[in-house]
Amino acid sequence: MFCGIDIGGTHISVGLVSSDGNIACSEMVQTRTVAGVEDMIDVLADVIFRLKKQSGSPLKGIGIGAPGGNYYEGTMVSPSNMKIKGIVPVVALFKKKFPDVPVYITNDANAAATGEKVYGAGKELTDFVVITLGTGLGSGFIVNGQIMYGANGMAGELGHTIAVEGGRQCKCGRRGCLERYVAAEGILITYREVCSEMGVVPSANTAEDIYSLAVKDDGPAKETFLRTGNTLGASLATMAMITAPSHIILFGGITNAGEYLLSPTRNSFEEHLLESFRNSIIIQRSAISEDNAAILGAAALACHAATAQPLQPLQPLQHNSKT
Ligand SMILES: [Zn+2]
């Protein structure tokens, strides 16, 4: 069994997962009930011991998906409604409770990508990208069958690449980040802009409402998804020309908009690609259910680390020596 822990702003999910991706048992802890980091580790360790007893199987690894999770440093950024702030050495704290069990952490989008690689649509794929669309926009890159962490362990911040120069203010302190256009709040802002341009009183308060309106053939709602897809497709094209994935897997609540979002995204994507990349990269929705994804992704991190073949070292370059 591998333990998957997803640490979020509102709740923390813990589950035990078998190697073939079945969640044997799980529990949820409200983040606000946790007094601080030490308390969180105590509470989660109790949950893990209880679940382990329930399942009766040995624990082979613990994987954690968390905001700002850094694979190399073993740290995370404390969730905003937890009392202790700043960088938390989560892996070291878990190792004190579980000295014989390997513990890994990464950010939620990388965990989602690992979940797709180990249990989902990416099983047979070596190069793909998972884009998580919800309150934020996250991305996890699988390159040559391995998750891409980069030199600092933080690779894959597509949501904070600049989509519109000098555009909407982002909470990261900069302007025009993709996330401000293609995640929940950004879509709502676009909808209000469209309504104002069309002289219509806005009637939606969430991205979900906008989808419900689009289904009823509402003009501003459909225009909102068109603009959102255009922006997303252009950014995905830029990204795809760097890592050349075979698939782009979209995941999260926003993807429930289905073809209202996917169709303009694909059109804009193809339009912005180099000729040599066109009609070869598949954009699809994830097949993993959203309820299970967080635990599966985190558990997959531990499972992947335990079973993945290490990358072969690169062959030394052949130098064309003239001597
Ligand atoms: Zn930003």
In 3D, which of 235, 280, 217, 299 has the Cα closest to residue 15? 299
* Confidence (pLDDT) at 133: 93
- Which pTM does this prediction carry? 0.86
Question: What is the distance in A from the centroid of ligand 1 to the CA of 49?
Answer: 38
- Whole-Å CA distances, 301 to 41, 166, 170: 19, 37, 29
Q: Give the tens place of pLDDT for each residue, 166-179.
A: 999 998 899 999 99
Mean pLDDT of the 213-229 span: 97
How many whole angstroms from 35 Cα to the centroid of ligand 1? 29
What are the structural domains of the chain? Answer: 2-112+290-307 (3.30.420.40), 124-285 (3.30.420.40)
Measured in Å, residue 241 CA sits from the centre of ligand 1 at: 22
- pLDDT mean across residues, the chain: 90
- Distance of CA 160 from the midpoint of ligand 1 (Å): 4
pLDDT level of residue 321 (50, 70, 90 thresholds): very low
CA of 179 to the centre of ligand 1 (A): 7
Give pLDDT, residue 312. 47
DSSP letters of 213-269?
A: HHHTT-HHHHHHHHHHHHHHHHHHHHHHHHH--SEEEEESGGGGGTHHHHHHHHHHH
pLDDT, tens digit (0-9, with 9 covering 90-100), for 122-158: 989 999 999 999 888 999 999 999 889 898 888 899 9
Compute, in angstroms, the gap from residue 176 CA to the centroid of ligand 1.
Answer: 7
* Strand pairing class (61-65; 103-106): parallel
* For residue 307, pLDDT beyond 80: no
CA of 68 to the centre of ligand 1 (A): 13
The closest alpha carbon to 16, from 42, 50, 65, belongs to 50
Q: In this predicted model, what pLDDT tens digit does every residue of 108-130 receive, in sequence order? A: 889 999 999 999 889 899 999 99
CA 224 – ligand 1 centroid, Å: 21
> How many whole angstroms from 161 Cα to the centroid of ligand 1?
7
* Cα(18) to centroid(ligand 1), Å: 36
Least confident of 25-29, 144-148, 194-198: 144-148
Position 242 confidence tier, pLDDT thresholds 50, 70, 90: very high
The predicted pLDDT at position 315 comes to: 52
Candidates 229, 290, 307; CA nearest to 263 is 229
Q: How far is the CA of 148 from the centre of ligand 1 (A)?
A: 20
| d(C-alpha 302, C-alpha 133), whole Å | 24
